[in-house]
Structure 1
Amino acid sequence: MPACSALTNSLAKSPEYHVDLFYTQPSVPFENLHTYLDGIKSLRRISSIKDIPEPCELSKYNLIIVTGWYSHQWNRNLQIAKKINRSLIVASAIDNIKAIKTTHKLRQLFGMLAYRVYLSRIFDYCLVPGTDSSELMKFLGHPSSKIYQGYYGASSQIYSTCVKIRNRPKNFLFVGQIIPRKGIDILINAFKLYQKAGGTYGLTIVGSTDEKEDKAILSIEEFQSIQLLSFAQPDKIADLMNWHRVLITPSRFDHWATVVCEAAACGCLLVASKQVGASNDIIKNGINGFVFDALKKSPEKDLAAIMHKLELLLDSESAEQRSMISQKISSLWSEHQYKLSVEAMLK
């Protein structure tokens, strides 16, 4: 993601660091990715297993941060590289959280055994987005003293508050994939209830959809107060956030949802399900937003009630203060925190 790449890029621009990046092609159609990576010394695309660097090359680094641990070839090469260079530090950047479904819980139990027996010998540290991922890594067996936050965040190069919240149009905002896992049906049904009860805010939905897979979005057409926009680039998203008062992220499951942090940096109040990892870190319930349960029966009723609460709160004198709290919290997930975590791993 560009915003996360910008965190790494900020570190790369520091004169004391030399940063190379091995990457895979992102599936999301981001444009001008090079603008977020201009501090990186070397960019190398990994298209197949044969493109993965050999252990001898990897052993020349002081610190290697690997996203995930699912590649056997990467793990093998890292293990050999650590034997060549005994001082090499390897960190796993992971955004997974504890599973909700029983089948996933069983998989994580097996993962715990694999991590303790094998992977813990490869990874010295873990770099995670927030609290929920930290808890998973502790469950898998990684020492809490070697888990650092800051993997995701909102880059100040892109996301910042430009418009005071009470000067913005009275609208809610959703940004993400328009799929059932993201709770798009919960949002639309909640918005229907909210409007029927006299709610006056509009709703903007930003994302892409496959109408063959998801029928819920088709009902948007009958509502004039819902604006549907296609996938947008990060700078456009930041502009939209500055012209909306509230971001709603009603996912049934989401590892962290960086968009919540990005919206906080733009001064939005926030609504998210407790199934969204970032809700634990970014939202102070009842202060700069609200958290609800997307898996309970009729979650749209709770979300509609929250919409009404926010409409009243945003007409009060406390609105600007609540917006500033969002901004302050988001600053804990920034370029500075990313750099602090990397420096701690290098000590």
Structure 2
Amino acid sequence: MSLKIVFCWSDISGYMAACWRSLQARQEIDLFVIAFQARTQTAFSDGLMQGIPCRLLGLQERNDTKLIKELISQQNPDAIVLCGWFHHPYRQLAFAKNLQNIPLIMGMDTPWWGNWKQHLAPWILRSYLKQMAHVVVTGERSWQYAYRLGIPLENISLGLYGIDYEAYAPLLAARRRSPWPRSFLFVGRYSHDKAIDLLATAYRLYRSQVGDPWDLVCCGQGDLESHLQDQVGITNRGFVQPAAMTDIWLKAGALVLPSRFDPWPIALVEAAAAGLAIICTQVCGSAVEVIRSEYNGIIIPPDRPEALAASLLTIHNHYNELAIWGTRSQDLAQPYRSEIWAQRWLAIFNSVLHPVH
């Protein structure tokens, strides 16, 4: 018999839809996803979930604990996957009497920073964490946090996220058939955390240092969009749905992500799978897994426009090496293929539901 698994998730995305689709394709799994409905036209489209058994929650529904409990009970799951502890109705599921015999698996991408809130978290979250049969983290930095939360080592696994690797992998070969693009790409929210304001400043500085500057293409949306307006060399594409991103990835020469705070940005993994050199800051959690400085990218301190401008200049001056860097990037992205993600999660479900003593 197949295992009935319910994922209780927040916002849908292209990468999670690809992962769920790969998991659903496994005959050992009967999948159902409860997630938030897309809120605006500039969010990921609900159409991403086409073909995946799911119930997308509206703005009011996502805060209706009773409804969520009923939806889960209707599925009669063998295990429930919860996305962290931030959403109160999901957190309440850990204490629901009608679900108390169902193993709970928690995903977390929060990195360990050692601030006072994180030092208090083991006490604040103690009753919730005690209900978790297993915790799945994104990478090394969130593993450190899970360990400090008191999760036993045998109950921590790596590999919370995966990507649609097969959609990105052909782009490297396609890009190499023509002169490598001379263009920088930013993909993410136009927000303070993503440092879009600092990127605009650093890009102007970079342009002042070369006679043939590359363009900067930005894909996203957010409150700081005005920093991109009327800027020479910057093209603002706005929010672009995953299916429409292929040509944008193909025409990029390198990805830039100058974040001030970014637990585990998927954009780095997707850019690596697309065969790009990558510039990012030290706070980007996924850099630990997919970026090797001066090998397939450049890692710089956050909030340093001069350092970011210098890294743009380095990529510019190492143009002839970018195809090599891109090939290395792709190798580092392969473990995050959605098919491998599904295999990894199947092993986690089996270890939780059929433990070997």
Q: TM-score, normalised by structure 2?
A: 0.83
2:263 corresponds to 1:266 = no
| Separation of aligned partners in 2, 1:26 and 1:97 | 26
Contact 1:92 1:123 in 2 (8 A): yes
Spell out the pairing of 1:306-317 with structure 2 (5 A cutoff).
306-316=311-321
> What is the identity percentage for the equivalent residue pairs of Structure 1 and Structure 2?
21
Letter in 1 for 2:118: Q
Query: 1:84: how far off?
Result: 5.2
SS at match of 2:293: coil
Query: 1:74: how far off?
Result: 3.5
Query: 1:247: how far off?
Result: 0.5
| Separation of aligned partners in 1, 2:166 and 2:74 | 31
Q: Aligned residue for 1:152?
A: 161
Q: Aligned residue for 2:262?
A: 254
Query: 1:42: how far off?
Result: 4.4
- CA RMSD in angstroms, aligned pairs only: 2.5
Letter in 2 for 1:136: Y
Query: Gapped runs of 5+ residues in structure 2?
Result: 1-12, 352-357
Q: Aligned residue for 1:328?
A: 331
| Separation of aligned partners in 1, 2:87 and 2:45 | 28
Q: TM-score, normalised by structure 1?
A: 0.86
| Separation of aligned partners in 1, 2:39 and 2:247 | 23
SS at match of 2:69: coil
Letter in 1 for 2:305: E
| Separation of aligned partners in 2, 1:56 and 1:22 | 8
Query: 1:167: how far off?
Result: 3.0
The 1:121/1:206 distance shift into structure 2, 3 A limit, reads same
Give the one of 202, 212, 215 matched to 1:202.
Answer: 215
Give the one of 36, 57, 65 matched to 2:73.
Answer: 57
Q: Aligned residue for 2:148?
A: 139
2:293 corresponds to 1:281 = no
Q: Aligned residue for 1:98?
A: 112
The 1:192/1:69 distance shift into structure 2, 3 A limit, reads same
Query: 1:280: how far off?
Result: 1.1
Query: Gapped runs of 5+ residues in structure 1?
Result: none
Contact 2:14 2:242 in 1 (8 A): yes
Letter in 2 for 1:109: H
Query: 1:259: how far off?
Result: 0.8
The 1:55/1:81 distance shift into structure 2, 3 A limit, reads farther
Q: Aligned residue for 2:4?
A: none
Contact 1:56 1:84 in 2 (8 A): no
Q: Aligned residue for 2:26?
A: 14
Query: 1:59: how far off?
Result: 9.0
Give the one of 341, 346, 350 matched to 1:343.
Answer: 346
SS at match of 1:11: helix
The 1:301/1:83 distance shift into structure 2, 3 A limit, reads closer
Letter in 2 for 1:95: D
The 1:246/1:152 distance shift into structure 2, 3 A limit, reads same
Letter in 1 for 2:37: Q
Q: Aligned residue for 1:112?
A: 122
Bigger mean CA offset, 282-291 vs 331-340: 331-340
Give the one of 227, 233, 251 matched to 2:241.
Answer: 233
Give the one of 46, 57, 60 matched to 1:33.
Answer: 46
Bigger mean CA offset, 137-146 vs 161-170: 161-170
Specify which structure has the higher proportion of strand. 2
Letter in 2 for 1:287: Y
Query: 1:55: how far off?
Result: 10
Query: 1:43: how far off?
Result: 3.0
